[in-house]
Amino acid sequence: MRRMTPTEKLVHNERLKLRANALNTLGTSYFTIGALAPLVNLTFGSPAHTQPWYIYVLFLVSFSAGGIRLHKLGQQTLNGLIG
């Protein structure tokens, strides 16, 4: 395997940072849509359209876990940076 030039290292690192940023943003969006939106609906929504409480807990737990996992995946991506 040949050595990377400084420019190639820079390009490699910037691509990894962009990928990590995309994963982190996706994780935040996943949490917001899946966890916070049902809670806002529960708080401010119409009483005629409410779901059983366990549905909200299920959404909160599953989407929070998914968002955290995507965030951690973004952090792991940064481990590939070349010094």
pLDDT digits (tens, 9 = 90+) for 26-76: 999 988 888 778 778 778 877 766 678 788 788 888 988 999 999 999 999
Answer whether 0.85 is exceeded by the pTM: no
Which residue did the predictor score with more confidence, 45 or 19?
Answer: 19
Residue 3, both tokens: 């050595």
SS3 81: coil
pLDDT over 80 at 79, yes or no: yes
Place of tokens 């968002």: 67
Which residue type does 12 have?
H
Helix (H) or strand (E) holding 14: helix 6-31
Q: Which of 32, 8, 27 is nearest to 73 (CA)?
A: 27
Q: Give the pLDDT of residue 58.
A: 87
